[in-house]
Amino acid sequence: MSARRGENACLYERIRLTDVIVKAYSRDTMPSGAGAYSVCVPNRAEVDVPSESAVAKMPPEMRGILNRLEGHECAHLLWTMCKDMAAHEKQQQYLMTAAGKVMPDHFHKFFNIVEDPRIERILCDWKQGMESGFGEMIEQFWQAGDMAYVKTQDMEECLQLYLLLAGRCRYHHVDVMRADVLAARQDLMQYVSEKVVDRIDSLLHDVVMTGRPEDVDSASVLRNTCHVMDCVAEMLKLCGLDAVDQSQQNQQSQGQDSQQNQQSQSQDSQQNQQSQSQDSQPEPTAEEQADADSLRAAPPENKGQVNWDPDQRMGQGGELLKNIAEELGKAVAQLQQEADRNGTVSPVVQEQWGGSFGGECKPHKPDPDYWSPKSLKDYHPQGEQLFKSRLVGKVLRQTSFNTGSIRKWGKAYSASVMGRQIPSDAMRKFRVQQDHGNDVDIVLDASGSMRDKSCPEKSRMLVALPVAWSIHKTLLAVPHVTCRVTTYSFDETHVLLKQHERVPFSTAASRYTALGGTPTHLGITESMQSLLSRPGRNKLMLVVTDGEARNDDWAVRAVRTAQARGIHVIMVFIGGVSKTTRSVYDGVCDCVDVPDMAGFENAMYRQLAQVI
Ligand SMILES: [Zn+2]
């Protein structure tokens, strides 16, 4: 789980204690319809929130709203979501059937509308003092016209609006909305009797008072949410919004479940009835009645449309959130511009990428189970000699042109190829001119798919590693070239071969472990940072991968960033690549497809020779 700072840290911690892994994603710019978003499925529970660095740049009142919305999404994970899949599936099944023939998406919308004030009530019970912040936020929505009375088109909308406004106004003490609630209530009474509306009020109260802060386990969440659904189903029935052809079977099974729920809820219900009788709605004042009358009488062109699922369709009326999204977009753009100027990756992108971003490249952990490095000791790649001789000619021409002292250099170079140390005074003569020098990184995919345990010879890592090692070794002998080999997997990058590091193949092999995911973006970004810090003029990054990155968008963004900084990025697809994956990188950078692994070595040297 990503550790989140700020006022919601204890909510994240509480979710973690319920054994749910939560991914908190940072989102660049929120869609106009959402301030935060959650996926309430236990095996991929997720809260999407705006980037912390961008939020930090925003005015304090907007920051407050976004924090509050993030808290709301956390509350869904705690009190709406069952923590294990079995209970979750039961809950979803109940959601599909509780209302009989009412379309599930309509029913879900009603469920959301009443579930929101319920979980907010629990949250406020748990964290005293949160209610004031929430009330203020609702008031801001009201001022922006997002959560206010509008003329409705039909009974369904009318009931939605009434539940929305009444839930928010009454239970979060937003008195400024009382005239709006009254107007919506009187609209509803055009369709149903006052007695029915009173019953709806009491059902809403029952819903909001269901559950306690400690009810976070699967069984309690299932029990509580099913009770909420029963209440909603009854409201719809009271208003005749359940379809007439509701099947007998549904009614029966619903009846049984309801009974069960009612039993488990009996304690709560008793309390509810008590507080309901103590807490009956105050009579509207004459002023409120007059306000409500004028709201209802206003000309229709000023009226928006109500069809408001608070979690999914806020965009339809979310002026306040649109403003926030706009401010957020500006903050993100500003951070991006700053990053571009400094040649770094913006903190917003860093948050998105998560993991070990910007951390040190770690030394590799050997994997003794897989490699038997002894048998690999004598590896001699064929392309090496070819490449060396081509290099000798090319580099010699260059150097003689630049320095005019070819003979001395040639001696030093051949000494180096023979594995002897180059005398330091000889090297000094051939120091990099401003206009040349090469820095090369070979970035190897170390995801699980690179290895084939059943058949090690076919394993892609076994093909990739010797070639990378031999290139690294070859380039040790070439002046004005730095070369590293790195790997990426999980959320980490590792250095396999450092610059100027002379190690036997077996040592290199012992450092390469193929396990985990494919965070290509991290591998590319880490390499970019290293390449930019090195002296050569030409920068080459060979990314060797066998397929889809964990997130193609991120990988492409990383490639674009690296290319914009003057790095020549080549994606080398070892073992072939699907058209879909290939199309992601086409037009972004050079791609080399190597379906036949026997051709991998030559393909790599060919790419290298084009640049060096
Ligand atoms: Zn919600």
pLDDT per position as a tens digit, 473-523 = 888 877 788 999 998 877 778 888 988 888 877 677 777 776 677 788 888
Q: Are 467 and 496 in contact (CB under 8 A)?
A: no
Distance (angstroms) between ligand 1 centre and the Cα of 526 equals: 38
Highest mean pLDDT: which range of 167-171, 220-224, 264-268, 308-312: 220-224
Distance (angstroms) between ligand 1 centre and the Cα of 35 equals: 11
Q: What is the pLDDT at residue 143?
A: 83
Distance (angstroms) between ligand 1 centre and the Cα of 245 equals: 31
Structure tokens at 76: 């869904």
Distance (angstroms) between ligand 1 centre and the Cα of 147 equals: 14
Distance (angstroms) between ligand 1 centre and the Cα of 141 equals: 15
The model's confidence at residue 248, banded by pLDDT at 50, 70 and 90, is very low
Q: What is the pLDDT at residue 483?
A: 92
Name the nearest CA neighbour of 17 among 224, 211, 217, 220: 217
Q: What is the pLDDT at residue 208?
A: 94
Percent pLDDT > 70 in the chain is 70
pLDDT at 333 over 60: yes
Distance (angstroms) between ligand 1 centre and the Cα of 275 equals: 25
pLDDT at 435 over 60: no
Distance (angstroms) between ligand 1 centre and the Cα of 73 equals: 6
Distance (angstroms) between ligand 1 centre and the Cα of 182 equals: 24
Q: What is the pLDDT at residue 221?
A: 96
* CA 147 – CA 453 distance, rounded (Å): 59
Q: Which of the two residues, 579 and 391, has the higher pLDDT score? A: 579
Determine the number of helices (DSSP H) and then strands (DSSP E) in the chain: 24, 10
The model's confidence at residue 354, banded by pLDDT at 50, 70 and 90, is low
The model's confidence at residue 427, banded by pLDDT at 50, 70 and 90, is very low
Q: Which of the two residues, 357 and 531, has the higher pLDDT score? A: 531
395-406 pLDDT, tens digit per residue, is 555 544 444 444
Q: What is the pLDDT at residue 6?
A: 65
Burial class of residue 390 in the structure, from the number of CB atoms within 10 Å of its CB (0-12 exposed, 13-18 middle, 19+ buried): middle
The model's confidence at residue 291, banded by pLDDT at 50, 70 and 90, is confident
Q: What is the pLDDT at residue 357?
A: 44
Q: What is the pLDDT at residue 519?
A: 82
pLDDT at 3 over 50: no
* CA 33 – CA 355 distance, rounded (Å): 28
Q: Which of the two residues, 193 and 151, has the higher pLDDT score? A: 193
Strands 438-445 and 538-545: parallel
The residues that bridge with 540 in the sheet, in sequence order, are 440, 568
Least confident of 11-15, 216-220, 260-264: 260-264
Alpha carbon distances (Å) from 160 to 238, 240, 243: 14, 14, 17
Contacts of 398 (CB under 8 A, 6+ apart): 436
Distance (angstroms) between ligand 1 centre and the Cα of 233 equals: 19
Least confident of 12-26, 171-185, 302-316: 302-316
Distance (angstroms) between ligand 1 centre and the Cα of 48 equals: 13
Q: Which of the two residues, 135 and 589, has the higher pLDDT score? A: 589
pLDDT at 257 over 90: no
Name the nearest CA neighbour of 525 among 604, 443, 411, 425: 443
What average pLDDT does this structure show over 115-143?
A: 84
What average pLDDT does this structure show over 568-577?
A: 88
Which helix or strand (DSSP H or E) is residue 94 part of? Answer: helix 85-97
pLDDT at 445 over 80: yes
Strands 538-545 and 492-497: unpaired
The model's confidence at residue 225, banded by pLDDT at 50, 70 and 90, is very high
Distance (angstroms) between ligand 1 centre and the Cα of 116 equals: 5
Distance (angstroms) between ligand 1 centre and the Cα of 333 equals: 29
pLDDT at 278 over 60: no
The residues that bridge with 482 in the sheet, in sequence order, are 439
Distance (angstroms) between ligand 1 centre and the Cα of 254 equals: 25
Query: Scanning the structure block, which residue is given the tokens 């599936």?
Result: 89
What average pLDDT does this structure show over 10-36?
A: 77
Distance (angstroms) between ligand 1 centre and the Cα of 77 equals: 10
Q: What is the pLDDT at residue 380?
A: 53
Highest mean pLDDT: which range of 167-176, 215-224, 371-380, 599-608: 215-224
The SS3 call for residue 590 is: strand
Distance (angstroms) between ligand 1 centre and the Cα of 553 equals: 28
Distance (angstroms) between ligand 1 centre and the Cα of 318 equals: 14
Greatest CA separation for the chain:
105
What average pLDDT does this structure show over 47-66?
A: 86
Structure tokens at 300: 């229709």
What average pLDDT does this structure show over 154-182?
A: 88
Which helix or strand (DSSP H or E) is residue 593 part of? Answer: strand 590-594
Distance (angstroms) between ligand 1 centre and the Cα of 388 equals: 64
Distance (angstroms) between ligand 1 centre and the Cα of 76 equals: 7
What average pLDDT does this structure show over 347-369?
A: 56
* CA 321 – CA 254 distance, rounded (Å): 38
Distance (angstroms) between ligand 1 centre and the Cα of 114 equals: 9
Name the nearest CA neighbour of 589 among 492, 524, 502: 524
Distance (angstroms) between ligand 1 centre and the Cα of 251 equals: 28
Contacts of 601 (CB under 8 A, 6+ apart): 381, 382, 383, 467, 470
Name the nearest CA neighbour of 271 among 204, 172, 205: 205
Burial class of residue 303 in the structure, from the number of CB atoms within 10 Å of its CB (0-12 exposed, 13-18 middle, 19+ buried): middle
Contacts of 23 (CB under 8 A, 6+ apart): 1, 2, 44, 45, 46, 47
The SS3 call for residue 574 is: strand
Contacts of 100 (CB under 8 A, 6+ apart): 233, 242, 243, 246, 247, 250, 251, 254
Distance (angstroms) between ligand 1 centre and the Cα of 80 equals: 9
Q: What is the pLDDT at residue 457?
A: 54
Distance (angstroms) between ligand 1 centre and the Cα of 321 equals: 15
Distance (angstroms) between ligand 1 centre and the Cα of 431 equals: 64
Percent pLDDT > 90 in the chain is 20
Q: Which of the two residues, 502 and 159, has the higher pLDDT score? A: 159
Q: Domain residues of the chain, as ranges?
A: 9-298+316-329, 355-381+436-611
Distance (angstroms) between ligand 1 centre and the Cα of 138 equals: 13
Q: Which of the two residues, 4 and 162, has the higher pLDDT score? A: 162
Distance (angstroms) between ligand 1 centre and the Cα of 309 equals: 9
Q: What is the pLDDT at residue 418?
A: 54
Q: Residue 70 CB: number of other CB atoms within 10 A?
A: 26
Return the CATH architecture of domain 355-381+436-611.
3-Layer(aba) Sandwich (3.40)
Average pLDDT, the chain: 75
Distance (angstroms) between ligand 1 centre and the Cα of 310 equals: 6
Q: What is the pLDDT at residue 251?
A: 41
Distance (angstroms) between ligand 1 centre and the Cα of 72 equals: 6
* Cα-based torsion angle of the residue sequence 400, 478, 597, 540 in order, rounded to the nearest 10 degrees: -80
The model's confidence at residue 432, banded by pLDDT at 50, 70 and 90, is very low
Highest mean pLDDT: which range of 82-91, 297-306, 328-337, 409-418: 82-91
The model's confidence at residue 283, banded by pLDDT at 50, 70 and 90, is confident
* CA 373 – CA 366 distance, rounded (Å): 11
Distance (angstroms) between ligand 1 centre and the Cα of 26 equals: 18
Highest mean pLDDT: which range of 5-19, 89-103, 436-450, 529-543: 529-543
585-612 pLDDT, tens digit per residue, is 888 899 998 888 778 888 888 888 777 7
The model's confidence at residue 306, banded by pLDDT at 50, 70 and 90, is very low
Distance (angstroms) between ligand 1 centre and the Cα of 220 equals: 19
Distance (angstroms) between ligand 1 centre and the Cα of 37 equals: 8
Name the nearest CA neighbour of 54 among 75, 29, 89, 18: 29
Distance (angstroms) between ligand 1 centre and the Cα of 79 equals: 11
Distance (angstroms) between ligand 1 centre and the Cα of 115 equals: 7
Distance (angstroms) between ligand 1 centre and the Cα of 305 equals: 20
Highest mean pLDDT: which range of 19-23, 145-149, 203-207: 203-207
Distance (angstroms) between ligand 1 centre and the Cα of 346 equals: 30
Distance (angstroms) between ligand 1 centre and the Cα of 377 equals: 60
Distance (angstroms) between ligand 1 centre and the Cα of 350 equals: 28
Distance (angstroms) between ligand 1 centre and the Cα of 227 equals: 17
Distance (angstroms) between ligand 1 centre and the Cα of 163 equals: 14
Q: What is the pLDDT at residue 203?
A: 96
